[in-house]
Structure 1
Amino acid sequence: MMKRFVCIWAVIVMLTAGYNPVYAADGAEAFDIEKGEVIKSITHSASLQSEVGKWLSAIAGPVGSLNIEPTSGIAVKVELAPPLKINNQWVSGTVTQVVLFVSQSPSYTPKLLIFTKENEVVAVTLKYNFKRFLKSNDLYRPQLNLSIPN
């Protein structure tokens, strides 16, 4: 259990603290969780910014455990420029960065880790279909579990 926790935080630190740093003007990076490497960079654009806004509008609730990062699949880190303001029952603040986790596991639905300017970090589930986003960025794999939580 402790080893899993350390692995989760190692990936979060790599994605957020300078491992192949992404700056807001650069857009996003997709990270293969099993391989432990960045597999794609996505250029910042109005459509990427809009897409993340849709994700933030689709929050279904908080993640019910510390098991945020899956053992397989991808993580997509997006720096927001400009930051997006959000105010709902789960998150209130100015979102500067998000990390989307999508797994191959049938029991793991997509999760979003949200970082705010106010130093808040929140993990949430989403009622959103990520297939179009993943396909348009050449990240879609049929084995990814894109199930929407109830």
Structure 2
Amino acid sequence: MPERVENLEIWQRGVRGVTAADEVTRDWPSEARHGLTTQLRRAAVSVPTPIAEGVGRGRRCGAVRSAPVPLGSLSELSTLWVAAEGLGYLTEDPAAGLRREIEALTRPLPACTGYQPSRSDRATGCSHNGSGRLPQAPGDKPRTGRRTDDDSHP
């Protein structure tokens, strides 16, 4: 019988993180609405959705081809958290709930999704796109591994 995503504790925690992110950002200033607020809420939603996708495709515990997505989203949430703290946006009550969910998901998520970073990822702290090269930023020229005149810096 297929696994139901609603029965997975890791998915439940992810959904609680979405709720906590909404509560945390609800009273933030309007100037943060299209920046930090949107980013934090989007990152929170990006944690449980790939797990649900994986379960929907019949993979155990939500293991998906894009397993690094929820892990990356948790890292993004942590970064946005630090920025929000620095801006004085966080209030103790709802912020503690979101922080708890981020920390609780960071430990079991790699095992659940089946994601194992490569040796070079662990050594450098970087993630890559599977090709051995770092991901390109939007607008960057393709990286060939060969230096060209365009690669030189003034």
Greater share of strand residues, 1 or 2?
A: 1
Shorter-chain TM-score: what band? under 0.3
Larger RCO, structures 1/2 (Cα 8 Å, 6+ apart):
2
TM-score between both structures, scaled by the size of structure 2: 0.26
Larger Rg, first or second structure (1 or 2): 2
